[in-house]
Amino acid sequence: MSSRVFDYIAQEEQRQQTTVELIASENFVSADVLRAVGSCLTNKYSEGYPARRALGNQGRYYGGCAVVDQLEEYCIARWKEVFHTDYHVNVQPHSGSSANLAAYFALLQPGDSILSMSLSNGAHLTHGSPVNFSGKLYDMHFYDVDENGFIDYDAMARMARTLRPKLILAGASAYSRIIDYRRFADAARETGALFMVDMAHVAGLVAADEHPSPFGLADVITTTTHKTLRGPRGGLIFCRPELAKRIDSAVFPGTQGGPLQHVIAGKAVAAEEALTPAFRTYIHAVVANSRAMADEFTAMGYKVVTGGTDNHMFLLDLTDTGLTGKQVQEALDGAGITLNKNCVPGDRRSPFQTSGVRIGTAAMTTRGYTAEDFRRVAHRIDAMLRTLSPAENAADKRA
C-alpha cells in the first residue's frame, strides 16, 4: 500500500542527495547504521540495564531481554575501545540534550551553580539558555571569548575562583578552535567544582586524535553519536567509575523510560566504524577540508571568526556586509546549499536573525568532497552573497 509518509521520505532522500550539506551538526550514516536503526529491535521494550552490570541494579523490568542485554554490553565495550577509556559508559540517552539533562540530574540539585560558555559565543541550549531546562533549573554563569573570538581561559579561571560553582562545563556548538580541557580541569580542581565536558561536536575528532581528549580530566563527558561520529541520532554519557550508579540512575528511571534498542544497535555499528583506519582518514580529511574552506573565505575578504579553524566548522561574521544570517541561510537554501544562521561574538542581532552563519565539512566529506570541492563551494556562496542587499536596519531588529 502506498503512503504519503513514504512520499515525504522519498522527497527528503532526494533533497539530501542533491543538496550541498554544510550544517556542522549533520552527517550521512552508513547503510549498516540505517539497517540497524530500521531493524526489529524497535519492537523491544527493555527498561533497566543488562543484569550483569556490576552496579547492584536489578536488571531489566521486562522479560525477553537476553539478546538486547548482549547488544547493549557490546555497544558499551566498543565505545570504551573507541576512546581508549576505562570510564563507565551509558549508551541509553536518546539525544545529546537527554544526556546533558541526566548528567545535571546526577550531579546537581536545582539551584546549584554552573559555569559554562556564554550562549552568544558558541554554547548549546542545554548549557544554560534561559528558555531551556538548564537555564530554568540551575544558577547559570558564563565565561566568554576574547576580542579575537578565543575562549578567555584566564577570565574563566577568575570567575571560577569568585563563584565557586558546583560544576564547570566545557564544550560548544559553534566554536572552531581547540578546547584546552586541562585549563578547565585545573580551574575545577582549584575551586572544588565538578568538571563536565560536552564533546558532541568534536567527539569524532577526539576518537581520531585530531582534538585533545577530555578523558582522564573530566568527571563526566557527554556526546551525541551523530555529527562527527557519523552514527545515528542519540547520546552517550561517560563518567568516572565512582559516579556510575548516579549517572545510570539519572538516565533510568530519572529522566527516561525504555531505551531505544534499535538506536543502540546503530550506535554499536557507529563505534565499530569509528575503530577502522578508514574513519581516521575520514576525520583527518574533515579537518583539512574545513581549514581549506575557511582560508578560501578569508582570501576572498570575508571575516572568519578567530581567523580560521582547528576542527570541522567555522563561523562567517557578516556584520560588515549588512547581511543577516537568516537572509543568507534562506538564499542558499534556494540555491541547494544548506547551512545555518548563527550568532557571532558580540552579535547585536537576535538569534532569529544573527550576524553570521556556521559552516561544517563533516557531511560533504562523507560524500567524497575534497579541499578543492569545498573551495569551489565557497566561491558559489560568495557569488550568491553578492546578489543580496543588506537588511534594512538589520542590526536593530530583534525578531
Name the residues annotated as catalytic: 45, 47, 198, 224, 227, 233
DSSP class of residue 35?
A: H
Rounded CA separation 36/31 (Å): 9
Return the H-helix or E-strand segment holding 360.
strand 356-360
| Cα–Cα distance measured from residue 198 to residue 14, given in angstroms and rounded to the nearest whole number | 33
**193: how many CB neighbours lie within 10 A of its CB?**
23
Say how far residue 9 (Cα) sits from the centre of its chain: 25
Q: Which helix (H) or strand (E) holds 223?
A: strand 220-224
Q: Can you read off the three cell numbers belonging to residue 92?
A: 541509553
| 174, burial (CB in 10 Å: exposed 0-12, middle 13-18, buried 19+) | buried
Answer for the pair 232, 225: CB distance below 8 angstroms, yes or no: yes
φ/ψ of residue 305, rounded to 5: -60, 135
226, three cell numbers: 551523530
- Exposure letters 178-191 (e unless 16+ CB within 10 A, then b): bbebebbbbbbeeb
